[in-house]
Amino acid sequence: MVQDYESDDLLQQYLLFHYGKAKDRMPYGFGPEFGAPFPARVVREFVEAPPHAAAARALDLGCAVGRSSFELARHFGEVVGIDYSAAFIRAAHTMREAGEMRIRVKEEGRRYRDVCVSVHSDILRSRVHFEVGDAMALRDGLSDFDVVLMLNVIDRLHTPLLGLERLAGLVKPGGQLVLSSPYTWMAEFTPVERWLGHETGGGSSFDALQSRLEADFALKRRVDFPMVIREHSRKYQYCVPEVSVWRRR
C-alpha cells in the first residue's frame, strides 16, 4: 500500500512518532523503546552543535511534522524545515505557534483515543521556519547551511541520485550532512531503474549513495539506528534506517 502523506491517519501516526510520550508510542514493556523519538535521537546523537548558535543555520529536508527541526533549534539560530506534504507542514506550523496539539491515535478499527503532544518548553520555537517544498526542486536562497538533515526521504524521491547531487549546493564547506534511510524502495515513489544500486547491477544502496557523495563530502560515521512507528494499538513498524554523517569538503 502506498503511503499517502496527506492522509489523516498518517498525519496522526507521525505526530505520535515525533512528539508522543514513550508510554503512548510503545505501551508494551516487552516492546522496543529507545528513550526518545527517532528525530530527536538523531539530532542528539549525530548533529555537531556549532560554537555560536545565533549565527548558525540548519536545514531539515523532508521534516514531516517537524520534531527534528525543533531539536535543531536547540543549537542553531535559524532552522528551515521543508516538506512536500501540506498537511504535515500545517501540523508543524500548529506545533510552532501553539507548542502543543491534541491528536487522535488509532486503537483498532474506528476506535481512537485522544492524546496530547507538545514541544519541549526549553526550545525556542520561533527559531524554526516551516514551508512546503520539494527536495528535488528547492526554491532559490537555500545555501550555506552549517548542517543539512535528510531523514528517511531518499527512498521517497523520484530520482534519488539527482536529490543527492543537489545536497552539495546546500551545505557550506566544513558543514555537516546527516542522512538516514531504511532504503524501502517502492515503485510508486521511485521507478525501479532509479533505485540506488540498481544501475550498478544490484550493489547496495549505500555504495551508490557514497559514490555520488564522495567528491563533495567525506564520510565520518555510518550507524544502524532503529526506530518504531505505531500504526495502531497492536501494530508497530520496526525499522533500522542507516544513518550516515558527512563533512562537506
Ligand X SMILES: C[S@@+](CC[C@H](N)C(=O)[O-])C[C@H]1O[C@@H](n2cnc3c(N)ncnc32)[C@H](O)[C@@H]1O
Residues of this chain that interact with ligand X (CB under 6 A) are 5, 39, 62-64, 82-85, 88, 134-136, 151-153, 156-157
Decide whether 119 or 157 has the Cβ nearer to ligand X: 157
Nearest approach in angstroms of CB 59 to ligand X is 11
Nearest residue to 106 via CA among 227, 7, 36, 238: 7
Decide whether 5 or 112 has the Cβ nearer to ligand X: 5
Decide whether 178 or 203 has the Cβ nearer to ligand X: 178
Decide whether 55 or 136 has the Cβ nearer to ligand X: 136
Provide the grid cell at 111. 476506535
d(CA 33, CA 202): 33
Close Cβ partners of 213 (under 8 Å, ≥ 6 residues apart): 164, 167, 168, 177, 219, 246
Query: CA angle 54-59-64, nearest 5°?
Result: 125
Nearest approach in angstroms of CB 5 to ligand X is 4
Nearest approach in angstroms of CB 82 to ligand X is 6
Nearest approach in angstroms of CB 153 to ligand X is 4
Decide whether 51 or 141 has the Cβ nearer to ligand X: 141
Close Cβ partners of 195 (under 8 Å, ≥ 6 residues apart): 155, 160, 185, 205
Nearest residue to 228 via CA among 81, 18, 60: 18
Nearest residue to 24 via CA among 113, 108, 95, 110: 113
Nearest approach in angstroms of CB 68 to ligand X is 6
